[in-house]
Amino acid sequence: MSISTTIDVPASSHSANWHGIDWETCHIRVRGLQVRIAKAASNQQWRKVNSLQRLLVRSFSAKALAVKRVTENRGRKTPGIDGETWDTPETKWNAVFRLVRKGYKPRPLRRVYIPKSNGARRPLGIPTMLDRAMQALYLLALEPVSETTADRNSYGFRPLRSTADAIEQLFINLSRKSSAQWVLEGDIKGCFDNISHDWLVAHVPLDRVIVRKWLKAGYMESGQLFPTEAGTPQGGIISPVLANIALDGLEEELEARFGKKNTKASYKTKVNYVRYADDFVITGISKELLDSEVKPVVEAFMAERGLTLSAEKTLITHVSEGFNFLGQNIRQYGGKLLIKPAHKNLKQFLAKIRQVVKDNKTVPAWLLIDMLNPMIRGWANYHRHIVAKETFNYVDYRIWKLLWQWCKRRHLNRRKRWVKAKYFKRVGKRNWVFAEQYPSGKLATLIYAADTPIKRHTKMKADANPYLPQFESYYEQRLEYAWRNSEQGKRKTYMLWSRQQKRCPMCKQYITFETGWNIHHVIERHKGGSDKLENLVLLHPNCHRKLHALGFHLKTDQSITMLFVQSGDKRLGYGKQV
């Protein structure tokens, strides 16, 4: 197949094979176009946005990255209705040139079901590999626009935002003495299944022909084709962003009616909005305000998009009664707002632990420890930013009881003292630690949820946009924050610090806990720079600000792309001005 003249082929890809692609160049070129799209969207230059999007989706670099994404994610081995998977370099290379708009017709989705927490089943639509790659390609062009136009306090399915950001924003809205006391808990009935196709085609800032084809592709179940008249398929790469675009705008509607933050009107009503995916919470000064004024605005907004609120699950609650949001309970106790793990979330977690222990009655203790540790660590890390220490202690106690019963069952004829000596060791200052040696001789120990430190989360800036250059230094700070609060990040920081001879490349002075440090990208993120260690360097905070303010960049050795040489090397100074 001949390559169209519109395809931007990097020089490094002329080798005509998958492994010959220069991925760094691809990232830089795609990122450069995404930054231009975001700037045009922020200036509302929509014709320019359209032309830049066309340029992006026709480029070789974007097509290669789209194929790379769908062949490296967790679903890469799951085929669509055609049974096709791209698992060799040849099929991946050929797939790059199949991503063309002309003549493209998406295949129906393969319908499967996954269990929900309430016992029901959630339908998933699995596209073919080609359709996944086309969605990934167009998502590269759509996401800079969706990030620029998104609601400030929307946190679901967005890069570098999390549930912790949404919970922290709720704490800000409800924790003061003068804060609102009533909340509207919003629940959209079948959000993903009922969004209007006509509204999406008319309002999604992307190629309308392609969007309509995806929405109308239908799905196959039991060998029969079913049409899709509404909704976005759960399982498609681009579906979460389409759903976000459909729900974006409600915050602006509420601000137009009840006043923006810190305005005279907002002080009277205290209407604030927080959304994560299709779950949202709106605060208000009274129940009457939320019921008679706010709720009709929300219902009208949803009706325009083909959506309705669930009458049973959409509730208006006083903060002293408490409500659950994203697995956590927000409630006021004697005038003080506390956020704790929700009772339902705790029960579900303990049920999973119990099931794992029950299903593995005869495995070695070290293998059971390897199964339980990731579950305990993940659940505790999710709740580590709230008032959870008491719950962590309770979880440790319940897990200990389960394991004690597991141990006694394995040795019914042994005394308890013998069972304790075999499975529960003294580790450090702690007794009764469930532990056993690996076959290699290393000791495997069960972690404790209570050992997870409680530390309040620092929320992402509401208007931060990863595609705009003015937020470059802010996202470097966020990366530093993430590293400081993760064990893996701490190890990476130590590696950088060691490679730099413990010194700042700008001023050549030691970096210590007293001086502090910032993480700097040698090739900036908005220019395609990655978070890999070879693109990162530790600087003193003042040196970092100076570098950005004066427009300098650090020199690098092109052969090894490293700054980390002896402190007397001339390369450890300023580079040329850009």
Report the candidate in 137, 146, 141, 145 with the shortest Cα–Cα distance to residue 33: 141
Least confident of 40-44, 63-67, 451-455, 527-531: 527-531
Least confident of 10-19, 276-285, 426-435, 555-564: 555-564
Answer yes or no: is 254 within a domain: yes
- CATH number, domain of 261, equals 3.30.70.270
Least confident of 331-345, 427-441, 501-515: 501-515
Burial class (CB in 10 A: 0-12, 13-18, 19+), 332: middle
Question: What mean pLDDT is predicted for residues 73-102?
Answer: 90
**pLDDT the model gives residue 543:** 80
**pLDDT the model gives residue 167:** 96
Least confident of 82-96, 436-450, 451-465, 480-494: 480-494
**pLDDT the model gives residue 381:** 93
**pLDDT the model gives residue 513:** 63
**pLDDT the model gives residue 19:** 84
Please say if the pLDDT value at position 444 is more than 80. Answer: yes
407 and 395 within one domain: yes
Confirm if 352 and 378 have CB atoms less than 8 A apart.
no
**Residue 2 pLDDT grade (very low, low, confident, very high; cuts 50, 70, 90):** very low
Answer yes or no: is 201 within a domain: no
211 and 90 within one domain: yes
Taking the C-alpha atoms of residue 143 and residue 134, their distance in angstroms, rounded to an integer, is 14
Count of domains observed in the chain: 4
Answer yes or no: is 518 within a domain: yes
Instruction: Render pLDDT for 386-423 as a digit per residue (tens, 0 to 9).
Output: 999 999 999 999 999 999 999 999 999 999 999 999 99
Single pTM value for the model: 0.83
Which one is predicted more confidently, 446 or 574? 446
124 and 107 within one domain: yes
Answer yes or no: is 447 within a domain: yes
Instruction: Render pLDDT for 305-360 as a digit per residue (tens, 0 to 9).
Output: 999 998 888 999 999 999 999 999 999 998 899 999 999 999 999 999 999 999 99
**pLDDT the model gives residue 64:** 92
307 and 251 within one domain: yes
165 and 85 within one domain: no
Taking the C-alpha atoms of residue 486 and residue 492, their distance in angstroms, rounded to an integer, is 10
**Which of residues 339, 367, 385 is at a domain's end?**
339
**pLDDT the model gives residue 553:** 65
Residues 6 or more apart in contact with residue 375 via CB below 8 angstroms: 349, 352, 353, 356
**Could you tell me what percent of the chain has a pLDDT over 90?**
61
- β-pair partners for 560: none
